[in-house]
Structure 1
Amino acid sequence: MADPYPSTSGRRVRIFQVATGNVGTEMIGRIQRHPDLELVGLHCYTADKIGRDAGEIVGIDPIGLVATGTIEEIIDAAPDCVTFHGVWPDFELYERVLEAGIDIVTTADQVTGHHRDKNHPLPDGRVPTEVLEAACQRGGSTFYGTGMNPGLAQVLSIVHTSDVADIEKVTCIESVDVSCHHSVDTWVNCGFGAPADDPEQLRKLELGTTVFGDGVHLMADALGLELDSVDFEGELGACTEDVDLGWFRLPKGSVGGAAFRYVGKVGGVPRVVLGLEWQMTPKTEPSWDVKGCYITQIDGDPIVYSKHMIIPRPGTPFDADAFAAIGMTVTGMPALNAIRAVVEARPGLITSADLPLRAFGGRFRA
């Protein structure tokens, strides 16, 4: 069989990671054990991390790589690919890295770019996807975003349609307890902890989660469906008492849970739905019976119903820390596993619909 990865045949792909937040911290260790990848650098934004060993920063043994803090140091290292795990995009970094001929794979708020173009034009008025595409073409590089957990949900949903003859509707729901995801900035950005009776909070949730709308666009594209609209629908759960999670306080009456969805419609009829049930605490009104899994349903002929559960491996404690680590793993690994395929892909912005099946495959331990 012809080598599907000719440009990196016989060697590991050289990776320069950006950021060591929740996802980035988990990925340092995962890259170290990944048979395809070699970590050659770490870029950090906070001064107290720069100059320290990457392993020390993330709480593992030293690995012999010192964190740097400038884009020039990324470019000088000449990696094959940058993995960007910041919560929010850094378009200055993106543009300069891409035009230097270095590919980027990111978990930060990017799947198709629809929502960033609509809601987040750059300060100088430029359109984000146009900026990225132009930088890719100048450098002959590729940009791929998995968009946090939508990167998993959308691929699952597409695969589940493979044995359906006549599709009527595709639904994927992420139904999870999110109290183990210790990212205060993320939840404040989505309105959690703020008064649930404030009419602005539902809009805040929409603005903080619009990347999930990108997931609907991607699924429709992969399924050959042209959507008329992607609409947001949602409901907030107000805390029935003060709740102290240790890392985040939720006053009585504040947002402690939410059920919302992005609905792709054709002729006013829902066709592709990406729904989320997020519970920070069960002490809300209304509350939701979260299932701790992804639920996929394909209405058509035949009907497909599937639950995708992710649990700690044997020997790992069933505690909040273990499930927090799993959350970061399933966010980051779809990006890491796809890197070889991204390096071989055409220059420009690509999505999961552009990648081969092998891009979504995990790896056996050596």
Structure 2
Amino acid sequence: MSVPRFDRPLKVIQWTTGNIGRRSAHAILSRPDLELVGVYAHGADKVGKDAAELCDWPEPTGVIATNDIAALLALKPDACCYNPLWPDIDELVALLEAGVNVCTSAAWITGGKQSPEDRARIEKACVEGNATIFGSGAHPGMTNVIAMTLSGSCEQVDEVRITESVDCSTYESAETQTAMGFSQDPATPGLAENVRRESEVFAESAAMMADAMGVTLDRMTFDVTFTAATGDSDLGFMQIPEGTVAGVLGYHRGWVGDRNVVSVGFNWTMGSHVAPPKPLAHGHVIQVFGVPNMRTVLHCLPPEGWTEEGFMGLGMIYTALPVTNAVPYVVSAAPGIVTLADLPPITGRMRA
């Protein structure tokens, strides 16, 4: 299936302009088939600023950031690139009820981690607004697509395993990193459960892949190993003191009977004083065990002439664009919750 075609540019609003959102806004502005018509500003300091200033676009756009949701909905956008850290059900319901299709990176793959009541609200809003919600990103997201594609080369699939294996020190979000256990005492009561809860979207992606490959999981489990720092690390935006968590190796695992058939996890470190239990691959290790076994390591690398320091900028593009590039596909999709297993392969735009 080719990219859906429309007789006009699709009108898109950008929801937040943080690490991921500003990369999404920049990408929307670069595509002739998309028109940035509005920007939602989460922080009061961004209200009233031109979108160009918020996403490093070279010239003014005339699109001014606002926190007036009613004004944004009045623009009658076709879609919203929704990029806060966590989803807000009230915001999503407002968008979907108004007929705005939502493409999001905000910890959403199937909506499975939401309460039954909140998921029912989303489903009802999709029906009332004849709208669609879709979630993706780098991991989970692109990695799941590649795993499912690799499985298509196998006569038999026994297990799928995906591991994000990176040094997270350049991801400057102390709130996120602390929630994932970093800088905490490894013996903190409930720390493993906190990390499980914070990373539950990985379990959503595991269940989605299992369903796409023809099995229904009996249960999900989570296991995690914390590695303590052997010295102090000052990362600028946060500290990793000696003896606190500097490495996190965790997996959300799906089971059929006593067989672990799908695992989605992360092998993350922060700071220079840590020896993780599993050596870093500095990429996404995607493995399908079966007949035959399939394995690839997905690397996100800078293009020639890239001037930004560190991995963060590239990583945010890598997270944002599987969502932004999905806009035409999601606008064309049937109303409701759609997943990576429902849509055709999502492509970027070739530069002429």
Per the alignment, in what secondary structure is the counterpart of residue 46 of structure 2?
coil
Structure 1 residue 115: Cα displacement: 1.6
Pairing of 1:46-195 with structure 2 (within 5 A):
46-61=43-58, 62-117=60-115, 127-146=117-136, 149-195=139-185
Q: Distance in 2 between matches of 1:318 and 1:341?
A: 31
Question: Aligned equivalents of 2:40 and 2:112: distance in 1?
Answer: 27
- Whose helix proportion is higher, 1 or 2? 1
Measure, in 2, the Cα distance between the counterparts of 1:157 and 1:224: 14
Q: Which residue of 2 aligns with 1:220?
A: 210
Name the CA distance, whole Å, in 2 between partners of 1:245 and 1:282: 10
Amino acid at match of 2:41: C
Gaps of 5+ in 2: none
- The 2-side partners of 1:13 and 1:216 are apart by 32
- The equivalent of 2:347 in structure 1 is 361
Q: After TM superposition, give the deviation of residue 191 of structure 1 in Å.
A: 2.1
Partner of 1:11: 8
What is the CA-CA distance between 1:159 and the residue it aligns to? 0.6
* 1:200 correspondence with 2:190: yes
Give a deviation string over 1:137-196, Cα, whole Å, max 9, x none.
Answer: 011111111166201111111011111001111111111111111111111222211111
- 2:314 counterpart letter in structure 1: I
Deviation at 1:197, TM superposition (A): 2.0
| Aligned equivalent of 2:265 | 275
Once the two structures are TM-superposed, the CA of residue 4 in structure 1 deviates from its matched residue by 6.1
- C-alpha distance in structure 2 between counterparts of 1:185 and 1:22, whole Å: 13
Give the structure-2-normalised TM-score. Answer: 0.95
The equivalent position to 1:327 in structure 2, one of 315, 320, 327, is 315
The letter of the residue matching 1:68 is T
Question: Do 1:154 and 1:219's aligned partners in 2 also have CA atoms closer than 8 Å?
Answer: yes
Once the two structures are aligned, what percentage of the paired residues are identical? 33
- CA displacement at 1:232 relative to structure 2: 0.6
Runs of 4+ in 1 over 6 A off after TM superposition: none
SS of 1:20 mapped into structure 2:
coil
RMSD of the alignment, in Å? 1.7
Q: Distance in 1 between matches of 2:61 and 2:168?
A: 31
Contact map agreement 2:179 2:195 (CA 8 A) in 1: yes
Contact 1:113/1:128 (8 A) holds in 2: no
Aligned-partner Cα distance in 2 for 1:204–1:192: 12
Alignment partners' CA distance in 1, 2:131 and 2:257: 38
> What's the counterpart of residue 345 of structure 1?
333
Q: 1:307 to 1:263 in 2, by over 3 A?
A: same
1:279·1:288 contact (CA, 8 Å) conserved in 2? no
What is the one-letter code of the residue matched to 2:49? R
Q: Within 5 A, what are the aligned runs for 1:180-329?
A: 180-284=170-274, 286-317=276-307, 319-320=309-310, 323-329=311-317
Judging changes above 3 Å, is the alpha-carbon distance between structure 1 residues 217 and 182 closer, same or farther for their aligned structure 2 residues?
same
Residue 27 of structure 1 corresponds to which residue in structure 2?
24
Please state how far the C-alpha of 1:236 moved relative to its aligned partner: 0.7
Structure 1 CA distance, aligned partners of 2:267 and 2:48? 41
Taking the aligned partners of 1:171 and 1:148, their CA distance within structure 2 comes to 15
Q: Structure 1 stretches of 5 or more lacking a match?
A: 118-125
1:114 positional shift: 1.5
Whole-Å Cα distance in 1 between the matches of residues 148 and 205 of structure 2?
A: 11
CA distance in 2, matches of 1:247, 1:351: 34
Aligned pairs (5 A) from 1:37-52: 37-52=34-49
Q: Summarize deviations over 1:268-307 as a string: whole Å, max 9, x none.
A: 2110111210111241255542111111111111111111
Which residue identity lines up with residue 131 of structure 2 in the other structure? S
What amino acid is aligned across from residue 96 of structure 2 in structure 1?
L
Which residue number corresponds to residue 122 of structure 1?
A: none
Q: Structure 1, residues 9-43: CA drift from partner, whole Å, max 9, x if none?
A: 23221110100111012222121112432111100
Output the CA distance in 2 between the equivalents of 1:202 and 1:281. 20
* Equivalent residue pairs, number: 351
Contact 2:181/2:248, CA 8 A, preserved across alignment:
no
SS at match of 2:264: strand
